[in-house]
Structure 1
Amino acid sequence: MTTITPIPLTAEGFAPFGDVIELGTKAFKINDGMCDRHHDLAQLEFLEGKAGISLFQAVPRELPYAIDLVERHPKGSQAFIPMYLTSFLVIVAPDENGTPGTPLAFLTNPGQGINLQRNTWHGVLTPLQSPGLFAVIDRIGDDTNLEEHIFETQYVVDSPG
């Protein structure tokens, strides 16, 4: 068994896998100065199909958390935006010649979302508190856009240090 300690989610640390969606420096005023628009926060990419918005409601998980399955979507990016100010666990793995390498775990701050780049190995949606409600922006199409991998080595995410 290999233990993984989650690290805080930052734009720099997550860059090889996608974008962190959060309030930042790309804001400008709209609505007669009464609203800040934090603009163009993720690089969405879809091959064929179309972009769609869905709602996912996931059961909260607890740490330590065993990682047994990762997946990827070769035809589109996938953004997860929490609908409540709660944290969630983000598990990703580098691609090593078509299979996932050793996973990494990130812990979001309340209010942070993510956008996974197209073809990025990632764990399942893993909220840590209720309600596990997320807006998801991803590719909608009639063909298959999912590859799954089950690890032979057991990885466990422990509590942050």
Structure 2
Amino acid sequence: MRLIRTEPLTAEAFAPFGQVLEGTGDFRLINAGLCRRHHDRAVLDFGPEGRAGISIFKAEARALPYEFDLIERHPEGSQAFLPMGAEPFLVIVTADPQAQPRAFLTNGAQGINLARGTWHGVLTPLAAPGLFAVVDRIGATPNLEEHRYSEAWRVIRG
């Protein structure tokens, strides 16, 4: 079995795949100075035939080590995952199914926006309830491609 070690999710490391969504860095005060707005953190891309939609996903919790043989991508639009709890989740991505995937571990206060066409693993919360708001493309044309590896990968804590 092939092995991948987790790495911390950082904006720099994740940049080839999309954006990290977190309340850090530059902000401006709003709401009479009682709220920090970390402005315009994601590039939302829904293509010419789609529109933005917000869905709620509830995924079963998994544990490390974690094994997978399936990745997917959405060629017609970006996909943002915003956890509705404070639990870490696993983010598996790769530029190409023939390349070794990377496994990022969120810190429990981060979301992600996957760039259009990015190959990624399925939603993998590491604790219940696994509840996420998902912002992605809604449209009439197909927007899912899947790839199954001939041999599974095992993700272990880095």
| Structure 1: unaligned runs, 5 residues or longer | none
Deviation at 1:84, TM superposition (A): 0.4
Where does residue 13 of structure 1 map in the other structure? 13
Task: Identify unmatched segments of 5+ residues in structure 2.
Answer: none
Distance in 2 separating the partners of 1:20 and 1:132: 18
* Residue 149 (structure 1) aligns with: 147
Where do 4+ consecutive residues of structure 1 move more than 3 Å? none
Shift of 1:153: 2.3
In the other structure, the counterpart of 2:105 is: 107
Q: CA deviation at 1:26?
A: 2.9
Most deviating of 1-10 and 22-31: 22-31
Asked if 1:55 corresponds to 2:56, the answer is: yes
For the aligned residue pairs, the C-alpha RMSD in angstroms reads 0.9
Distance 1:60 1:118 in 2: 26
Do the aligned partners of 1:100 and 1:121 also contact (CA within 8 Å) in 2?
no
Q: Percent identity?
A: 60
Measure, in 2, the Cα distance between the counterparts of 1:5 and 1:42. Answer: 26
1:1-150 aligned within 5 A:
1-47=1-47, 48-95=49-96, 99-150=97-148
Give the residue type in structure 2 aligned to 1:122. H
TM-score (norm 1): 0.94
Note the alpha carbon deviations across 1:95-122, whole angstroms, 9 max, x for none. 2xxx442111000001100000000000
Letter in 1 for 2:39: H
Instruction: Give secondary structure in 2 for the equivalent of 1:129.
Output: coil
Give a deviation string over 1:115-134, Cα, whole Å, max 9, x none: 00000000000000011000
Which shifted more, 114-123 or 41-50? 41-50
Residues 52/100 of structure 1: CA separation in 2 closer, same or farther (3 Å cut): farther
Q: Give TM-score, length-normalised by structure 2.
A: 0.96
1: CA distance, partners of 2:99 / 2:52:
29
